[in-house]
Amino acid sequence: MPGFELWGDAERKEVNDVLETGILMRYGFDGPRKGIWKSKELEAAICERFGTPHAQLVSSGTAALTTAMAALGIGSGHEVIMPAFTFVASFEAVLGVGAVPVLVDIDETLTMDPLAVEKAIGPKTKCIMPVHMCGSMADLDELKRIAKAHNLILLEDACQSIGATYKGKSLGTIGDAGTFSFDFVKTMTCGEGGVIMTADEEVYKKCDAFSDHGHDHLGVDRGADLHPFPGYNFRISELHSAVGLAQVRRVDEFLAIQKKNHAILKEALSTIPGMTFRKIPDPQGDSCSFISWFLPSEAITQKVIAAFKEQGILAGNFYWFDNNWHYIKKWDHLKNLSVLYPLHEAQKKALLDLKEKDFAQSDAIMSRCISTAVSLAWTEEQLKEKAERMVGVVVGILENSKQLG
């Protein structure tokens, strides 16, 4: 899965270019930087590789979502529909701009259920935010249709699905805007970083200014820039961009390894009786950073996870249902309003309502789901051994439960 696993000379070379000049900031210092503009180069490389007219780098994926929402005019009085299975950053960004997160069920794609989205639309809905979890995609044709029919913004959180495509287009480039995260465990990394991609030049210009205190970036003297609106400091540094520049050039290498390892793992897992794989709207477009699979019941899945742990093969196997960071079940801080500063009434009400809200449909899916992260570092031998041991454990538990059964 993560590009950090193959850290090497290419990354060191790009970082060293920046260390030579000592100009660690992405803007200004035109003379002393001696033509080294890693952030600009990385933005151009992202446009080229992922097929988007505009890319704005920022300091994280969370900052990218926040910036995108600000640029799309999402804020107080608005609701953003998002899935109950995602990383906490998705709702942090919504709360950050003053909007209300409306959490809906997922389906067997492990992304938002379009039917649940349609049911959640109300007069305050402004945006639909699918999250392309674990390397693969939401049903974008359907979500696009819904967004269009209700005149809503479609913002793709593609932070976990760098390199995945839907019908030939990169995830993150299909909605009104989309984001990647380049944090340390994503498919390509900057150490920390993120990007907003959009085809809308006005949205891009707003992202550019918002992520740098509102600077219009029109002149050569930063100090003389005008500020059409206030923003934040979500700037990326040249050191981080240098790492990303080396990694974006290697992203096809990473994806090829992922696909190869994913295929071996898939073949092994498919021998387990009664198991099924995650539904993928466009199987060709899977980035293969994870393989997500379902067992027949929650009880069996819990037993398998416990046995993986006991046998020391849990590493890389994620049981999101019990995970503190990715699923509504353990988001007590959100449901209990444990926030550091006061929220406004609509936000408070929406969060308190989460306590009562029924996520049985999502529970039934997540409680039977295991996602296995696909490493770039495995040798074929290691991978086959891992797969064999995993399958052995699962088959043993299934047989056992049949006998008890």
Is residue 131 a contact point for ligand PLP (CB under 6 A)?
Answer: yes
CB 17 within 8 A of CB 37: no
Q: Is 259 a catalytic residue?
A: no
**Of 11, 43, 105, 183, which lies in the binding site for ligand PLP, with binding defined by CB under 6 A?**
183
Is residue 175 a contact point for ligand PLP (CB under 6 A)?
Answer: no
Encoded one letter per residue, x for contact with ligand PLP by CB under 6 A and - for no contact, window 81-100 reads: -----xx-xx----------
**Of 159, 174, 209, 280, which lies in the binding site for ligand PLP, with binding defined by CB under 6 A?**
159
Q: Give the 3-state DSSP-derived string for the chain, with helices as H, strands as E and coil as C.
A: CCHHHHCCHHHHHHHHHHHHHCCCCCCCCCCCCCCCCHHHHHHHHHHHHHCCCEEEEECCHHHHHHHHHHHCCCCCCCEEEEECECCCHHHHHHHHCCCEEEEECECCCCCECHHHHHHHCCCCEEEECCECHHHCCCCHHHHHHHHHHCCCEEEEECCCCCCCEECCEECCCCCCEEEEECECCCCCCCECCEEEEECCHHHHHHHHHHCECCCCCCCCCHHHCCCCCCCCECCCCHHHHHHHHHHHCCHHHHHHHHHHHHHHHHHHHCCCCCCEECCCCCHHHCCCCEEEEECCCHHHHHHHHHHHHHCCCCCCEECHHHCCCCEHHHCHHHHCCCCCCCCCHHHHHHHHHCCCCCCHHHHHHHCCEEEEECCCCCCHHHHHHHHHHHHHHHHHHHHHHHHHC
**Of 2, 3, 61, 178, which lies in the binding site for ligand PLP, with binding defined by CB under 6 A?**
61
- Cβ nearer to ligand PLP, comparing 194 with 231: 194
The catalytic position among 126, 186, 303, 386 is 186
Smallest distance from ligand PLP to CB 328, Å: 14
Smallest distance from ligand PLP to CB 15, Å: 19
- Cβ nearer to ligand PLP, comparing 89 with 265: 89
Q: Kindly determine how many residues on this chain lie close enough to bind ligand PLP according to the rule CB under 6 A.
A: 14
**Of 52, 60, 111, 287, which lies in the binding site for ligand PLP, with binding defined by CB under 6 A?**
60
Which of these ranges, 58-66, 335-343, 350-358, 377-385, lies near ligand PLP under the rule CB under 6 A?
A: 58-66
Encoded one letter per residue, x for contact with ligand PLP by CB under 6 A and - for no contact, window 230-259 reads: ------------------------------
Is residue 135 a contact point for ligand PLP (CB under 6 A)?
Answer: no
Is residue 157 a contact point for ligand PLP (CB under 6 A)?
Answer: yes
**Of 130, 194, 231, 285, which lies in the binding site for ligand PLP, with binding defined by CB under 6 A?**
194
Is residue 181 a contact point for ligand PLP (CB under 6 A)?
Answer: yes
Is residue 105 a contact point for ligand PLP (CB under 6 A)?
Answer: no
- Cβ nearer to ligand PLP, comparing 362 with 383: 362
Is residue 62 a contact point for ligand PLP (CB under 6 A)?
Answer: yes
CB 137 within 8 A of CB 161: yes
Just list the catalytic residues: 186
* Residues at the site binding ligand PLP, with contacts judged by CB under 6 A: 60-62, 86-87, 89-90, 131, 157, 159-160, 181, 183, 194
